[in-house]
Every structure is written in C-alpha cells, then in structure tokens.
Structure 1
C-alpha cells in the first residue's frame, strides 16, 4: 500500500522573494528540478519549508500550487503536525486533501509529552484520517525522543505506515528495523545516515540535500536498495562536503543557498532565520562549480 514511499522523498524548501513573499515561480522551478532529477516523491510543508512561519492561507495556496505543478507526476506527502492534538485533527478534517497521498506528522514539540502521551497523540491522528501516516521523530528539534518501543507500538495501528527517523541514536533505528512489522517503512531523516540506514534494511530517505542534487542522491539510494553499496557509497562520499555545508549554518538557509548556486531559486529566508554567511556561500559556489 505504501510502496510509493520507498526511495528518495525530498522535503521541499519554500522559495521566497526578497520581500519575503512566496516566490511561486521559484516553487515551480524547484518542483520541476526535483521531478526531472528522478526523486520518488515530494514532501510539502515540512520543517525545511519554514512551515512555522507560513500563515494558514499561505500553506493552503502553496500546497495547491505544488499539487497543480506536480500534475500527478509524483506522490505528495503533506506535513500536518504540531503540539496541539485537537488542532491537528481539525486541520486534517478541514483541509482539501485531494492530490495528497500521505501525511507526515512530527512528534509534538515544546510541551514534551511522555511516551504514553505521544502514543495517544498519534492514535487520535490515526483515528481521524484514512490517509497513510508517516511518523516523524526529530529529537534535536522537538526536545522529545519517541522511543523504539513507542514506534513499534504505533506501527500496529491501521493507517500508520512508517517513520521518518532523525534520531542521532542509530541503535534506536536498528531496534525499529529489527522488530518492525514487515510492511512498516523506516525512512531516514538524516542525509548522512540515509545510506547506512538503507544498508541496514531501511527503505529510503526524506532528504534535504536531495532537492539540491536530486539525480545523484536518488540514484545513491536506489543503488543502496539494490544492494550495490560500493557505488552508492562512492556517491555519498562525493556529496559529503556539500551535505555538511547544507547544515553548517542551519536548515533551510544552507539548502536554499545551494539552490541559488544551481540557479533554481533565490536563497531568501524568513526571520528568525537568516541567509548564510559570505564565506559559506563561497564554499557552496565552489563545490557546485566543481562537482561532477
């Protein structure tokens, strides 16, 4: 049912004009760039999209625009998450989810629920949609880690089909892969660890750098899934410097500067984020110019 989530998904950035408004021409260019590069699916309104700085109306218009530009070429995963369970349920019920193939929902941040609270939060989401749901565990942003045990418990629910796992504890990822139901997907939320996760039995990645280098990164994951780890790691080692650059001064400032260097869109971000420094921008330009 959820095989379309295997391989490389990209967590799309939101291109902005210099005045801070959404650059819809840039959005179109970015979507086309990713699709033409061979990624398997698109992720809309994730962290990389600066979704916390987008208004309700902007989110609605941006999602509709991406669905229109995509024109059913690739599956679309929509980020619907937060730390108010009832508000998420209302958003799901009120949203026009035509053209959306799955939901990505992050572990609640800031209010730091217990494992029981995390379970009940996701159970409510599961019970209020018929779309496939991807869990998203990113402790570095939320301040709370969803344990392997909670993930495996949630994997038994009807609509929860997988997890985007971005913990720094790789042993936790291995526990999930070892004991998960057969069809439950384990997807990396860390670009550097994506290939090791695939080699360990995972199913792919939701990538940031993949939108900068969609052809290379998606090919790397496909090779990894096919068991050709030598050629896959050759690609990863070639991309390692720019993966570091993408996160050196924060996401999505880094990936947006990469996209600017590749003439896809501008690198403007919204406060409290700021654009990367001149020194990092120069490193990125040199990498893009010399990478082959």
Structure 2
C-alpha cells in the first residue's frame, strides 16, 4: 500500500495521479468522555490497536467517526491527536464532509494544516444538486486542496448516488484519486472497477462482501468493523492478495458473523445508534477505550445488549 503527498503547487492532474491507495483502511471511531468530549487518551490507544493490527492507513472523520455529530473544535482535536500520534507510521486520510462547497473548503484547510495525507469528500447534501453541480464541487475542492481527493459514495446519507460515469470522468480529469464505495450497489462498484483507465483506487466500504469486491479487482476496504478486529480484515486482505480465495472466504464468513453486533440494538434505536454503539461497546469490552458513549442524540445500548455483543466477540475469538 502506498500513498504519496503532493505540494500545494502541484497541478490538479498530478494530485490524483501521484497517489495510489490499497489495503485495509479503518474509518476510526471517535471515543468520547462521559460529558461528550473527545477522549484523546482512548483515541491514542485505538490508533495503537489499529496500527498493531497491521492496517495500511487510517481514515478519520468519516461516518464511523461520528463526523456529523462533532463540532469543528472536536474535529480539529481528532485531526491533531491522530496525525500527531501516528507520526508518519501510516497515511492518515481525513473526511472533509459538510453540506456545501464553502463549508467543505474550510474543513479542507484545517485538515491540510494538520498534515493529513489525503481527503475524503462526499457530494453536497441538504440542497438538491445536479450532477454538474457535483462535478463543480469535486473540481473546486481538488483545485484548492493540494492533496489527493477520494470521493465518498454514501447515498444513504447524502441522497445522491455517484455514477460510474461521473467518477471515471473526474478520475480522467485528474480530479479524483479514488472512491470509497459505501453505496451498497455492487453493479455500480463493478462498473467503476472495470471502467477505470487512469490510476484510481477503488475501496469498498462494506464489511461483509470484501472478498467478492477484492476478487472483482477492488484495491482495498474501509471497514467500520475493522476498529474492533483489524487483524481479521488484514488477514482477509492478505489471503486475497496471494490468491488464497478459500482462506479469504473463511475469514470473511467469520467477520460476517461478528458483524451481527451492529444489529443488537434492534428496532428501539436508529441504525447509527445501533452500529456505532456496537463498535464502541466492543472496543470498551476489549479494553481499548474507556467509555462506549456515542454522541447525542444517539440512544445508548443497555446492559443486556452489551452482554450480547460480548458473546459475539467471544464467539469470534476476541475476548
């Protein structure tokens, strides 16, 4: 896995072409204190847990980081804590995620000042956008960033699906260095993989179909569950890299069973509360973070639900 930074004076085409990204890149959870502030000490332990697990890069301020819930000051704390502690051991990508281009550009400025290796950007949201406006958004961000920009295809949250035509066109222009595909559209993912010509990293955001995505030709995975079991996703990726598809499938099946933790919250809470609460509860049970609390207004898991997560962790060999 490699990624190369570029100087701010680089041309737009060089920004995209200078970066290749592959392997296991967890979207890092943001541990919080009981009063809902960023728990920097727990965040440092989480980073060590992930690096010790053999991951290839880190992605902060994404969905699993609860980016939508964090204040600008909290986002800055996460950036400075992670980049400072990593100290160049692995690349750090940062989400620059907000509703409109001017707001995203401010996040880009802060992330670049913190020293990140690349940026992850969604389409604009809240406002109703046309594909040409989305193109303008990515072109503007890439033109200002001086860093590789990776599109984040997340229609469940931004209500826009990034088409293969749009992604590949921006890649050909040198605007985008790759995509994190969390769309759930396997046909669309395949179209991007098969249609790319310029260097363009395709990363799946699915925890449970990684083996099939890698078999199709995806370059890596950005798994929220990778916070809990980084070793498992690294082993899956290594099996696929050496053509051991039976080994990759076996590890994928184990991880798919572990992924059931995200459903423990059931119907009494939203998917974010259930999924992110499960990741944090698991990290707490494993002794990585001090507190499993999620940001308001998410509903916390109860003792029974945390106990069920513990049983799933034990079944996966993690307790």
* TM-score interval (norm. to shorter): over 0.9
Please state how far the C-alpha of 1:182 moved relative to its aligned partner. 4.3
**Who is 2:161 aligned against?**
145
**Gapped regions of structure 2 (runs ≥ 5):** 1-17, 266-270
How far apart are residue 242 of structure 1 and its match? 1.7
Give the corresponding residue for 2:27: 11
Q: Any idea what the Cα deviations from partners look like across 1:218-243, whole Å, max 9, x if unmatched?
A: 11022223321110110111121221
Superposition TM-score, scaled by structure 1 size:
0.94
Decide whether aligned partners of structure 1 residues 199 and 130 sit closer, same or farther in structure 2, where only a CA change above 3 A counts: same
Task: Compute the displacement of 1:276 (Å).
Answer: 2.4
Q: Does 1:118 align with 2:144?
A: no
Residue in 2 aligned with 1:274? 299
CA distance, structure 2, for counterparts of residue 260 and residue 144 of structure 1? 34
Structure 1 pair 277/181, CA: closer, same or farther in 2 (3 Å)?
Answer: farther
Show the counterpart of 1:179: 195
Aligned-residue Cα RMSD (Å) equals 1.6
* Partner SS for 2:54: coil
Matched, 1:87 2:111: no
Which digits, 9 at most, give the CA deviation of each residue in 1:75-104, with x for residues without a partner? 100110222112222332355434311101
Which stretches in structure 1 are left out of the alignment for 5+ residues?
Answer: none
Hey, what's the Cα distance between the residues in 1 that align with 2:280 and 2:80?
22
Q: Which residue of 1 aligns with 2:19?
A: 2
Is this contact kept in 1: 2:54–2:231, CA < 8 A? yes
Q: In 2, Cα distance between the equivalents of 1:108 and 1:225?
A: 35
Q: CA deviation at 1:30?
A: 0.4
Counterpart secondary structure, 1:269: coil
Q: Cα distance 1:247–1:80, how it changes in 2: closer, same or farther (>3 A)?
A: farther
Contact 2:37-2:74 within 8 A present in 1 as well: no
Verify: 1:24 aligned to 2:48, yes or no.
no
TM-score (norm 2): 0.86
Please report how far the alpha carbon of residue 196 of structure 1 lies from its aligned counterpart in structure 2 after TM superposition.
1.1
Match of 2:49 in 1: 33
Alignment correspondent of 2:316? 291
State which of 259, 282, 301 in structure 2 corresponds to 1:258.
282
Structure 1 residues 150 and 248, CA gap change in structure 2 (3 angstroms):
farther
Say if 2:223 is the partner of 1:207: yes
Moved more, 81-90 or 93-102: 93-102
Q: 1:127 aligns with which of 134, 143, 155?
A: 143
Is contact 2:172-2:198 (8 Å) kept? no
The alpha-carbon distance between structure 1 residues 195 and 107, as it changes in their structure 2 partners (threshold 3 A), is farther
Equivalences for 1:177-256 in 2 at 5 Å?
177-246=193-262, 249=265, 250=271, 251-256=275-280
2: distance between equivalents of 1:114 and 1:74?
A: 36
Q: Helix, strand or coil for the counterpart of 1:22?
A: coil
Per-residue deviation at 1:277? 3.8
Give the C-alpha shift of residue 159 in structure 1. 4.3
User: Number of matched residues?
Assistant: 291
Whether the 8 Å contact between 1:8 and 1:221 is mirrored in structure 2 is: yes
Question: 2:110 and 2:78 mapped to 1: Cα distance?
Answer: 16
In 1, Cα distance between equivalents of 2:101 and 2:264: 33
Aligned-residue offset at 1:248: 5.1
Moved over 4 A (4+): none
| Cα distance in 2 between the residues matched to 1:140 and 1:267 | 25
8 Å CA contact retained: 1:126, 1:157: no
SS of the counterpart of 1:11? coil
